[in-house]
Chains A and B, each alone.
Chain A
């Protein structure tokens, strides 16, 4: 069995194939997570590469009780954050989203059933990009990647209270942006 723990042990013993298996298993969630954070396809590829290179170099420091996916997401989060900070320094602000975000169709919101999957994807991606970094982080990890609160706290270093607050606010903001299209009018 190639469990994640087995793979980590094998990599530490110098088995290069084991690291490739780790890459094959986790590259998709990692690149998706980074893409959710940076909203740039080419950059997401580059940062995924950086994540796995860092992971390879540090894998011997990984604690036995840590879940591999959580550990990789933690590295990916740091890599993405560094990139966003660098971009913010370069441009004075992070403009992940186009302000014409919601111009998906003519002028009226289309109910979710009427949205083409491509439009739905654009709507979510752009709405996500308009959240601030912390909210985007917890929302992505919880709603799009189904991480537990405990995992999110490990990945982000946030307290349980902060992540719950950020998640609640992120949900509210996302709801506000998608409700005209998705017909989700619930207010918490």
Chain B
């Protein structure tokens, strides 16, 4: 083998990518050629140099939490999908029944009311006020049934936002989360740091922040999925503070705490949380 050929194959040889036949030839050539074997030694040294490269990068502990929030969301979505499917099927069934009742009622309005009155009067002959009251109840019932048929989309949104429904529970969770986060950030904002402090014990704040961070990821994702953009934005703004506090050592350096404190003050995140609490459901 000529040196030029060996030189061309040397990197692949080092990478262990040569075909056995070529590898044998390079092996043999390196045994007999000092120049090529020196070149190979230099390549190996270079490889060793790069092997010493340490990126000094670690996988942060919160990364899995974030990923889990996304992958759990998928489960929730599936569940949500199932829930939604059931809810839609239920709504359609109710709608169909209501339409059927409405149609039957409309097509035989006099006849439909008559049996009710007739039955009532046949069992207990009642005076006019009672009859009126029965009719009134029937009318009220009709009124209750009608709105979902005619104004289904409007009425459903009203019901979902005002009833103690599944969605409301999410909003209650968010409200509680916001309240606890506000307390945490206020405590950081109001912490007294003196120049003589060597370290500050933030064990409790840190533990609380970790819990709130987990919650925050899930709630933010939920808010995004449900198109509650003001909520999502607020939670996204809140998250970096929770991450920073969660990543403090139990006994933090005063300058680290001071930095967070100053950012809390500068960004007015506490005011944003308060504002969110003050401006009811329309703001969400």
Residues on A lying within 8 angstroms of B by beta carbon are: 16, 19-20, 23-24, 27-28, 31-32, 35-36, 41, 44-45, 48-49, 52-53, 56-57, 112, 117-118, 120-121, 124-125, 142-144, 148-149, 164, 167-168, 171, 174-175, 178, 182, 184-186, 188
Q: Is B11 on the interface with A (CB-CB < 8 A)? A: yes
Per-residue 0/1 for B124-143: is the Cβ within 8 Å of any A Cβ (1 yes, 0 no)? 00000000000000000000
Cβ of B74 under 8 Å from chain A: yes
The smallest beta-carbon distance between A106 and chain B, in angstroms, is 21
A168 touches B53 (CB 8 A): no
Tell me if A's interface is mostly helix, strand, loop or mixed: helix
Report yes or no: A178 in contact with B49, Cβ–Cβ below 8 A.
yes
**Is there a chain A Cβ closer than 8 Å to B189's Cβ?**
no
Query: Are A171 and B11 in contact (CB-based, < 8 A)?
Result: yes
Q: List 25 A-B contacts (CB under 8 A).
A: A23-B64, A23-B67, A27-B59, A27-B64, A32-B55, A35-B57, A36-B55, A44-B57, A45-B60, A48-B59, A49-B63, A49-B70, A53-B67, A117-B54, A120-B49, A120-B53, A124-B50, A144-B50, A171-B11, A182-B45, A182-B49, A184-B42, A186-B46, A188-B7, A188-B39
CB atoms of A144 and B53 under 8 A apart = yes
Whether the Cβ atoms of A31 and B57 lie closer than 8 Å is yes
Residue of A nearest to B38 (CB): A186
Q: Give every chain A residue within 8 A of B52 (Cβ-Cβ).
A: 117, 120
Measured between alpha carbons, how far is A117 from B11 in the docked complex, in Å? 26
Cβ contact within 8 Å between A53 and B49: no
- Taking a contact as CB atoms under 8 Å apart, the answer to whether A164 and B12 are in contact is yes
Chain A nearest CB from B243 CB (Å) reads: 10
A23 to chain B: closest residue by CB: B64
> Are the C-beta atoms of A20 and B47 separated by less than 8 Å?
no
- Asked if residues A184 and B63 are in contact (CB atoms below 8 Å), the reply is no
Residue total for B at the interface (Cβ-Cβ under 8 A): 34
A118 to B42 CA separation, bound complex (whole angstroms): 23
Q: Give Cα A188 to B70, complex, Å.
A: 48
Interface residue from B12, B42, B74 paired with A185 (Cβ < 8 Å)? B42
Take A142-B15, A188-B11 as given contacts and tell me if A20 and B68 are in contact as well, using a CB distance cutoff of 8 Å: yes
| Contact A125-B60, Cβ < 8 Å, known A56-B67, A182-B46, A182-B49 | no
Nearest-Cβ distance from residue B263 to partner chain A, whole angstroms: 16
Interface centre among B7, B16, B47, B57 (most CB of A within 10 A): B57
B158 at the interface (CB under 8 A from A): no
Shortest 3 CB-CB contacts between residues of A and residues of B: A186-B42, A124-B53, A53-B70
B43 touches A186 (CB 8 A): yes
CB distance from B246 to the nearest CB of A (A): 14
Contact (Cβ within 8 A) A148 B55: no
User: What's the Cα separation between A125 and B12 when bound, in Å?
Assistant: 24
- For B72, the chain A residues whose CB sits under 8 A away are 16
Interface centre among A19, A53, A164 (most CB of B within 10 A): A53
A168 to B53, CA, bound (A): 20
Q: Across the interface, do B63 and A19 meet the contact criterion of CB distance under 8 Å?
A: no
Q: How far is the CB of A186 from chain B (nearest CB, A)?
A: 3
Most buried by A among B12, B46, B52: B46
Closest B residue to A172 using CB positions: B11
Cβ contacts under 8 Å, A118 to chain B = 56
Complex contacts, A117 vs chain B, CB 8 Å: 52, 54
Q: Which of chain A's residues have a CB closer than 8 A to the CB of B39?
A: 186, 188
Chain A hits for B59, CB < 8 A: 27-28, 31, 48
**Does B71 contact A56, Cβ atoms closer than 8 Å?**
yes
Bound-complex Cα distance A149 to B14 (A): 12
